[in-house]
Amino acid sequence: MERRIFNVLFVSILTTMVGLGIIAPLMPIYAKSLGATGMWLGIIFSGFSLARVIFMPLIGRISDQRGRKFFITLGLFWYSIISLLYPLAKTVYQLSLIRILHGCASAMVLPIAMAYIGDIARKGEEGKLMGTFNMALFLGIGSGPFLGGFLNDAFGLKAAFYAMALLTTIAFLVTLVFLPDLRIHIRQKTSLSWRSILKNNVIKGLFIFRMANATKRGGIMVFLPLFAAKIHISPSEVGILLSANIFITGLLQTPFGKLADKWNKFWMVLTGSLISALGLIFVPLSHNFTELFVAGILVGIGGAIAMPAATAIAVLVGQSTGMGTSMGIFNTAMSLGMVFSPIFLGIIMDTFGLHFIFYFAALVGLLSCLVFYYYTIKGK
C-alpha cells in the first residue's frame, strides 16, 4: 500500500510539474502581449507565490485533521480548470487574478503530497524516500520548458496552457482513482499552538535555509541568462546551462537521500549550502560556456546534497507538529523566497551591477548557513 501511495503521488506531481514547467518560460511573453509593464510582470509572477505563502500553512494544518487525499485531488481539479482560464485572459488584471487563483490551487497539491510521503516514510528511510520524491519536482520543472518551447513553435502560445490543463487533468484522475485515503496513518499532532510550533528551533533553521535556497535559485533562473548573454553565450547554450543545473540536482536526490539516512542530516544541509554558495561566487568570474557550466554544476550538486536532508528533517519535525503543518511551513519559506528574490536581486543589479547579484545570492546562502547552524545544531 505504501508503495502504491508513493507511485501515485510521484506520477501525479511529476506530471503537474511538467505542466507548470511548460508555461514558465512563456509567461513573460504572454504577459507582454497583454500589455504588461515591468511592474505588472513582477505582480504576475509574485502573485502565484504570494497566494501559496498565505494558504500553504493553513491548508497543511487542516490536512493533519481532514486527511491528505481530499486536498490533493481538489487542488489538482482546480489546477486543471484554472489552466483553461489563461488563454481567456484579455488584460493584465485578469492574468494577475488567474495567477493568484493558480497559486491557491497549488497550495493544496505539493506541500500536502509531501506531507503524505512523510506519513508513509519508514523510520531511518526519510532521506531516501523524500529524496526520490524530490526527483519528480526537479525533473518535471526541468523538462517542461523544452516541451513548452516546442508547443509554442508548432502550435502557438496558447497550446502550452492547454497542455498544462491536459497534464493536470491526468494527474487529477490518477490521484482520484488510485490514491488511497489512509487517514489512519496520519500522525496527527495538531494540538500544538502556532506559537509553540514557530518557537521550534529546527523549524526556524529550516525556514531560513529554504528561503535562502529559493533566493539562490532565483538568482540562477532569472539572472543567469542575462549574464550569459553578456559573455556572448547563445540562447541554446543558456538552455543547456539551466537544464543541467536542474537535472543534476534532480538525478542526485536519491543517492544523497540515502546518504542522509546514514549521515548527519544537519551537516549535509550545511555542506550542500556551502557548495552552492561557492558555485554562485564562480558564476561572475566565468568567461566562457565551460566555466559557467562548471559553476552551475557546483550549484546543482550543492542543492542535491542539501535538499533531501532538509526534507527528511522536515519529516522528523512533522512527526511531532503534524506533517501537513511542517511541510506547509517548509514550502511557505520557498514561496517567500520566490516572491522577494527577483525584487531584491533586481535592486542589487540596478544599484551595483549584474555581477553583484551572484555575490549577494552567495552571501545570503552563507549567512543562512550561520543561522541554520545556530538554530539546529548549536541551539537545538
What's phi and psi for 85, nearest 5 deg?
-80, -25
- C-alpha span between 330 and 338 (Å, rounded): 13
Summarize the confidence of residues 339-363 as an average pLDDT.
84
Q: Give the per-residue pLDDT at 95.
A: 94
Do 200 and 331 form a contact (C-beta atoms < 8 A)?
no
User: Mean pLDDT in the chain?
Assistant: 87
Cell representation of residue 366: 552563507
- C-alpha span between 103 and 94 (Å, rounded): 14
Burial pattern 22-45, b for ≥16 Cβ within 10 A else e, equals bbebbbeebbeebebeeebbebbb
- Say if residue 26's pLDDT is above 90: no
Does the fold of domain 194-380 match that of domain 1-179? yes
Question: Residue 289: CA atoms inside 13 Å, Cβ hemisphere, count?
Answer: 12
Q: What is the pLDDT of residues 305-322, one digit of tens each?
A: 999 999 999 999 888 888
- C-alpha span between 261 and 277 (Å, rounded): 24
DSSP 197-232: HHT-HHHHHHHHHHHHHHHHHHIIIIIHHHHHHHTT
Split at pLDDT 50, 70, 90, the class of 190 is low
Name the range with the highest mean pLDDT among 107-116, 238-247, 341-350.
107-116
Spatial CA neighbour of 256 closest among 244, 246, 271, 245: 271
Q: What is the value of pTM for the model shown?
A: 0.84
- Say if residue 191's pLDDT is above 60: no
CATH code of the region 194-380: 1.20.1250.20
Task: List the single range of 15-19, 168-172, 218-222 with lowest mean pLDDT.
Answer: 218-222
CA dihedral sign, ordered 67, 68, 70, 75: positive
According to DSSP, residue 91 is labeled S
Spatial CA neighbour of 45 closest among 92, 108, 105: 92
Report the 10 Å Cβ neighbour count for 373: 17
Collapsed DSSP state (helix, strand, coil) of residue 187: coil
For the chain, give the percent of residues with pLDDT over 70.
95
Split at pLDDT 50, 70, 90, the class of 38 is low
- C-alpha span between 98 and 88 (Å, rounded): 10
Spatial CA neighbour of 380 closest among 200, 135, 179: 200
For residue 375, CA distances in Å to 179, 346, 369 come to: 37, 30, 10
Task: Tell me the domain boundaries of the chain.
Answer: 1-179, 194-380
Spatial CA neighbour of 287 closest among 227, 241, 328: 227
What's phi and psi for 108, nearest 5 deg?
-90, -10
Could you confirm whether domain 1-179 is CATH 1.20.1250.20?
yes
Split at pLDDT 50, 70, 90, the class of 90 is very high
Q: What is the pLDDT of residues 248-259, one digit of tens each?
A: 988 999 999 999
According to DSSP, residue 25 is labeled T
CA dihedral sign, ordered 139, 258, 207, 323: positive
For the chain, give the percent of residues with pLDDT over 90.
45
- Say if residue 123's pLDDT is above 60: yes
